[in-house]
Structure 1
Amino acid sequence: MAELQILNLLLVLVAAWVGGMLAKRVGFPPILGELLIGILLGPALLGVLETSEALNTLAEVGILFLMAYIGMEINFKDLGKASWAGLLAAIGGFVVPFILGYYTIIWFDGTNISALFVAIAVGVTSLATKSRILVDLKLLDTRIAYVLMAGALISDTLALIIFAGIIGFVDSGSVNAVGLSWVAGKAILFFAFAALIGIYFFPVLGKLLSKAKSINRTFHFTIMVIIVLGFSELAELAGLHGILGAFMAGLFIRDGVFSRQVFKEVTGVFHDMSIGFLAPIFFVTAGFHVSLEVFQTDLLLLILIILGAVVGKIVGTALFYLPSGHGWREGLTIGTGMNGRGAVEIIIAGIGLQMGIISTEIFSILVFMAISTTLTVPLLLTWTTNWLRKRGELVMQDARNGYLILGANPLGIYIAKQLQEHNEVVLIDANKDLVNEANEQGVTAIHGNGLKEETFHLANAINKKTFIALTGNSEINLLATQLANNSFYIPNKIVLMSPGENGAGLNLLDPMNASSMFASKTDMTPWAYKISANEFKEKIAQVDGNCTTREWVKQNGKNQDILPVLIMDESGHKRPFHYQDSISAKEKVIYLE
């Protein structure tokens, strides 16, 4: 029997990996593939996979870890970038589909509690669904991206609060004033106690851990697991669901327990444990509970729920977004981006099914709703953002600006002097002589170790839009870029890779969404010497037609000792020449020879 359970677990994990990989390759979140393959290989169709008590236990731990990880990924400071607009989008995108979902179930003679569960599931939005799409569409530095992220966070938090109330009500089993007061009192006590622990006790714990030099990453991970499970049990004792506790634990762990460096390392392990192992078990096994009979028995309800979810989310967001003053077209665009559902929706629906609040048919409808709405996001968001771009209404977010360059060598100083004509540029270097030379040439430079957070703080990295790693050592460049990405969330990363760098180093660029400087591997040393000795020529090449930077290098770099360093647009603004960029007609390439 034990062998069968292990084989079943192995098959579920392999299925999750295959489904997630296929979904990711076509631009969708992995959970979509995990759900679909669970439906395909589960009882609904082929019946190859089956559930068990062991799988159910692992799946339950998986959703706790996933909710904790979602909490760890949320940075409340980012809400300030689009708080008012994000709040409007969140309210409209949640309330309208919530109402439509609720009354649709009531119209089909469903209970009030089941209608509320469906309403929550229809109202939520998915943060993970949009992140990859925003990167692909190069929207991370637009106002739309910040509003979408803020809207998703507020929407999901609102859903979890209402969910907590419903769980407490179901637990009390009564509608009298005393029963409801008891439910509300326990919930308030939980949130208050959790906040006290997170705000006052966690920092003390963090200081104690930082002083214990011998403590390793495994111990830190164990502390994190204990905190998550402890908060989950507190939520259960308060009559709420454990996912509320796990979510709260993630929020407080992010800023209260570990230093930035330790948090980054331990979060990576937690990510692998939750998203790489436990959470996929939940989503695959969730597919086991889906019934395809709804297409015969409840087709009208399925269609109405999907229509209510799509129309309610898009139209509701656009209507409530009008007071922001950013226009109804931007509201529609944000609505299309918020239309995808994901982890939180499926988790809430799964808990409703487990508690007997919703039926298998309703659960199946919610799963198909999540799948169909998620499929619309890349198509509709691409179309609406292109529509805004053509009208000149795609607004860039000015919360971050300027360049942070690691390497005050002659090449770094040359590029900095070019970029600072229209941007704030700061150089950092561990060589004091190079820093003094840069300052003498009119470039702001800071002396410090480029692999330490203190140096980045001095350079005000948290407000920089682009980080360029421009030393002659690829390993240092990659490590510094990881610091810029993980600790300071700098959106644009450009890395100089030397010719001797192997494929392993290049493979690290994609996870950080980083690009290679000069669109090719480059040995910096000879160019730094040529600039310092003034033995180079600066030339400008006009670009007649649209092309990528890589194509330009292939066309113009053959048999020529040249280095393309900058791209200049028609207004004279310059930007670094790197791999993940394209050159428009009438733009110019500045290169060294």
Structure 2
Amino acid sequence: MIGGIETTIEFQMSLLLFIALAGYLVASRINQSAVIGEILVGLLVGPSLLGLITYTDFVRSLAALGAVILLFVIGLEFDLGDILDVRYVVIGLAGVIVPWIGGYWLTDALGYGFESAVFVGTAMTATSIAITANVLREMGLLDTRASRAIIGTAVIDDVLSLMALSVSIDVVSGTFSLVSLATIVAKDVVFIVVAAAVGIRVIAPFLERIDRRPFARKYPEFIFITAMMFAFLFALGAEAIGISAIIGAFIAGMSFRSVNLIHSRDLKEGAEYLHIIFASIFFVSLGILADFSALTPDILIFLIALMVMAVVTKLVGCGIPARLQGMGNRESLVLGFGMVPRGEVAMIVALIGLNAGIIDQGIYVAIVLMSLLTTLVTPIVYRNWLLKKETGTA
């Protein structure tokens, strides 16, 4: 988008929302999740095909905003106890280790070198909570045991993936030590515990006290604005210490779930409207980010192998531990496929590796496209196979 009116924020925003609407129409025609339609239309208008829109800083900013709002909304559906389960820690740990080994082995076997193999393995560990959570939410299935296991495991998986990124950077640079590993783990755990404690024990009661004052009767939107301010502060805090911003937003939403408001606007209702706009742009941006034109025959082969490895290692790494801990075959498959989308976390890992000169453009493109394509797997499998009966789709 260059020159004149095409560079204005108003035009870009209008175009992105138009693309999102087109995504809904496509999804309706093919009887799939809106996420699928939005990503596909993003691919159509992006550099891969028509080249009508590119992944500008403006699009990137809106996408990041959408991911934060989406996880805040998802957090409002969960209690802290839903993710504080030792089983999820075990599944999440296996769901990081197995994909890392698979990604490292595959890259090394194809002759790309140690440093590249380390970073590809790290990218494979990621799970995009945003993708699966939105699909489950769209299908009305968030309030199930399997869904709560997926979200709880995905939160742990995401934290472990970002820890793995820090460790990988240290390994490649030759500065890794047990002390640095212990520091990373302690820092991340302390943030999650402290953020949840502050949110539940301090901020949530504070919001309720304000709601009881006459001021809240006069300005019923005040509490919602305050809650969103804290959500972004939590996201900022998470990002500042090296955890994904969306984890901070999720903790904020989870902390405010039990807030009992009398005079103020409902938090879920207000956040829902923001989610509708910005989460749609987030999913469209995933399609825009991909560029299939950068593929060479060698990278295409690597991409196909990476895709297969990405699906298999999450099914094995998460599905088998879930089965061993008492979940049924079907629930274990639902959890395994729910962990398949790599999404924005793997893309961030790839970008860091590219900017540091650790991976080349070809591997970067393969990781980005693998991240995109894995986001399509879960909605398709859920709607057309594993969760078809629950949604009543034909």
TM-score normalised by L of structure 2: 0.78
Closer/same/farther in 2, CA of residues 114 and 311 from structure 1, 3 Å limit: closer
CA offsets, 1:490-545, max 9 Å, x none?
Answer: xxxxxxxxxxxxxxxxxxxxxxx9xxxxxxxxxxxxxxxxxxxxxxxxxxxxxxxx
Closer/same/farther in 2, CA of residues 304 and 121 from structure 1, 3 Å limit: farther
Specify the code of the residue in structure 2 equivalent to 1:355.
I
| Count of residues in correspondence between the two structures | 370
* Greater relative contact order structure (CA < 8 Å, 6+ sep): 2
* 1:347 to 2:353 alignment: no
Q: Is the 8 A contact 1:165 1:184 kept in 2?
A: yes
The residue that corresponds to 1:191 in the other structure is: 192
Unpaired segments ≥5 residues, structure 2: none
Q: Is the 8 A contact 1:29 1:128 kept in 2?
A: no
Give the fraction of aligned pairs with identical amino acids, expressed as a percent.
Answer: 21
RMSD: 3.8
**In 2, Cα distance between equivalents of 1:322 and 1:223:** 42
Closer/same/farther in 2, CA of residues 350 and 221 from structure 1, 3 Å limit: farther
How far the C-alpha of 1:205 sits from its partner, in A, is 0.6
* 1:360 to 2:358 alignment: no
How far the C-alpha of 1:176 sits from its partner, in A, is 3.5
**In 2, Cα distance between equivalents of 1:181 and 1:371:** 36
Specify the code of the residue in structure 1 equivalent to 2:14.
L
Unpaired segments ≥5 residues, structure 1: 387-512, 514-579, 581-593
The residue that corresponds to 1:374 in the other structure is: 379
* 1:148 to 2:146 alignment: yes
Larger Rg: 1
How far the C-alpha of 1:224 sits from its partner, in A, is 1.5
How far the C-alpha of 1:204 sits from its partner, in A, is 3.5
Q: Is the 8 A contact 1:104 1:305 kept in 2?
A: yes
Q: Is the 8 A contact 1:291 1:361 kept in 2?
A: no
Correspondence 1:550-561 to 2 at 5 A: none
Match of 2:49 among 39, 45, 52: 45
Moved more, 94-103 or 107-116: 94-103
The residue that corresponds to 2:117 in the other structure is: 111
**In 1, Cα distance between equivalents of 2:325 and 2:178:** 39
Correspondence 1:55-134 to 2 at 5 A: 55-76=59-80, 96-97=98-99, 99-108=101-110, 109=112, 110-121=116-127, 126-133=132-139
How far the C-alpha of 1:45 sits from its partner, in A, is 0.6
The residue that corresponds to 1:159 in the other structure is: 157
Q: Is the 8 A contact 2:73 2:272 kept in 1?
A: yes
Local SS of the residue matching 2:337:
coil
Which is strand-richer, 1 or 2? 1
How far the C-alpha of 1:182 sits from its partner, in A, is 4.2
Q: Is the 8 A contact 1:88 1:324 kept in 2?
A: no
Specify the code of the residue in structure 2 equivalent to 1:38.
G
Specify the code of the residue in structure 1 equivalent to 2:266.
E
Specify the code of the residue in structure 1 equivalent to 2:50.
L
How far the C-alpha of 1:43 sits from its partner, in A, is 1.0
**In 2, Cα distance between equivalents of 1:368 and 1:94:** 19
The residue that corresponds to 1:209 in the other structure is: 210
Correspondence 1:261-300 to 2 at 5 A: 265-273=266-274, 275-292=275-292, 293-294=294-295, 296-300=297-301
* 1:242 to 2:239 alignment: no
Which is helix-richer, 1 or 2? 2
The residue that corresponds to 1:229 in the other structure is: 232
Correspondence 1:539-558 to 2 at 5 A: none
**In 1, Cα distance between equivalents of 2:102 and 2:129:** 9
**In 1, Cα distance between equivalents of 2:191 and 2:88:** 27
CA offsets, 1:318-357, max 9 Å, x none?
Answer: 543444556xxx4146405641468x73121332244345
Q: Is the 8 A contact 2:102 2:313 kept in 1?
A: yes
How far the C-alpha of 1:125 sits from its partner, in A, is 7.8
**In 2, Cα distance between equivalents of 1:271 and 1:64:** 13
